[in-house]
Amino acid sequence: MIRTIAQTLTQKVEKKYRFALHAVFYAVILYAHNSGLIPLENLALYLVMLFVTGFSVVLVHYPNVTYKNIFMAVLLPMNLALGGTLSLLLFPNISVIFRFVAIVVFSLLDYIILLVDNVFLVIEGREELIPLYRVAVTWSLILQIIVFIPFVASVYKFNVNSYYHAIVVAVAAFFYSLYQIWVTRYDKDAKNVGVVERIFLSFIVLFLVFSGVVGVSFVPSEPFLKALFTSSVAMFGLSYVSAYLKNEINKRLIFQYAFITVFFLVLMLIFRP
């Protein structure tokens, strides 16, 4: 039945319209939650939302989604759905106008993520590069960091031990690293690393992010500023992994991202509550 629905959708609706419908659907869900029509204060409803998000992503990407790439296809959309919903729930003091703008931005991000992921899924299906690949790789890193920020800010809002914050955020960064390796491996200049090396590289990112979260856990600061700092650490790790795969690690790269990380650290230390 699911396959029949997917085939019908594929035959009658072009991909760009499927992606647009998915983004509109996500915006409606956010608006309904924000209006109190769908109270997402319990875990069960969040699990349902994530399942619906993952299922809908598979439908709009059909037939390019397989058991080999389904995790990569749903990773960013599900993270955006979770981070977007939690941020609207856990930051109740933001204005109505800002909430409306946030819903529009989140839905636009959903559309762009689906477009970018479609490039990688098509490449994997054809087993050959297409002209949009370089642009998609650049956008993928930008999107990862943008999506990571509201998710991390929401995690920081939970009143639990900072080590739990570090574990959740670091595990998310680990999966982001696997995603970054997945999108980079189609580059002709990139190394073809095995499973063990992929996991090792992702553990480096996990360690960097975990250390960064624990390192600033005792600093009194706003969750959003902490999220910016944490995301800069994640960006450093993901960029390092990408550069390693393409043999582009140099002092300029290290100093550039180290400067960005230090900048957000100083910003966090200055604007303390």
Look at the block and give the residue holding tokens 């706003």.
Answer: 222
Residues 89 and 199 in one domain: no
Flag whether 142 is in a domain.
Answer: no
Q: Is 2 found in the same domain as 117?
A: yes
- What b/e readout covers 79-92, taking b as 16+ CB neighbours within 10 angstroms? bbbbbbbbbbbebe
- Tens digits of residue pLDDT in 108-140: 999 999 999 999 998 888 777 778 888 888 899
Q: 203 and 88: one domain?
A: no
| Residue-range definition of the domain harbouring residue 248 | 158-272
Please report whether residue 144 resides in a domain: no
Q: Could you say which residues of the chain have pLDDT below 50?
A: 1-2
pLDDT of residue 268: 86
pLDDT at 99: 85
Mean pLDDT of the chain: 85
- Indicate whether 140 belongs to any domain: no
Question: Do 98 and 174 sit in the same domain of this protein?
Answer: no
Residue 145's pLDDT is what?
94
Answer whether residue 134 is part of any domain: no
